[in-house]
């Protein structure tokens, strides 16, 4: 069985340390992919494509059009192991 990831019901969140003092949290607004499971419902594989330019850190100073845009190709990810 295979399902397509629904972007309106999906969230991909991240957090990184900044200068050793602060944790910057954010999310990617553009995520797509597929989820596969066996007939008995066990998860088999996950594939996702993430648009790096869709990063949203919810910073108090939003990015403006005058700033350099993030130019990065979409990043693909495929599960290497599934632990049930």
What's the total number of domains in the chain?
Answer: 1
Q: What CATH number does residue 48 fall under?
A: 2.40.128.110
**Any domain includes 23:** yes
The confidence score (pLDDT) of residue 61 equals 58
The answer to the question of residue 36 being in a domain is yes
Q: What's the CA gap between 26 and 2, in Å, rounded?
A: 28
Structural domain of residue 31, as residue ranges?
2-59+69-78
Q: pLDDT tens for residues 37-78?
A: 989 988 899 999 988 888 888 775 555 544 555 667 778 888
pLDDT mean across residues, the chain: 81
Identify whether 64 is part of a domain.
Answer: no
Please indicate, yes or no, if residue 20 is contained in any of the structural domains. yes
Beta strand spans in 11-51 (E): 12-18, 22-28, 31-37, 43-50
pLDDT at 8: 86
């Amino acid at each position: 069985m295979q399902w397509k990831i629904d972007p309106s019901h999906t969230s991909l969140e991240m957090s990184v340390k900044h200068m050793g003092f602060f944790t910057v949290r954010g999310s990617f607004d553009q995520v797509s992919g597929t989820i596969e499971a066996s007939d008995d419902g066990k998860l088999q594989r996950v594939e996702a494509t993430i648009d790096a330019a869709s990063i949203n850190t919810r910073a108090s100073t939003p990015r403006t059009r005058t700033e350099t845009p993030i130019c990065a190709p979409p990043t693909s990810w495929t599960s290497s192991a599934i632990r049930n």
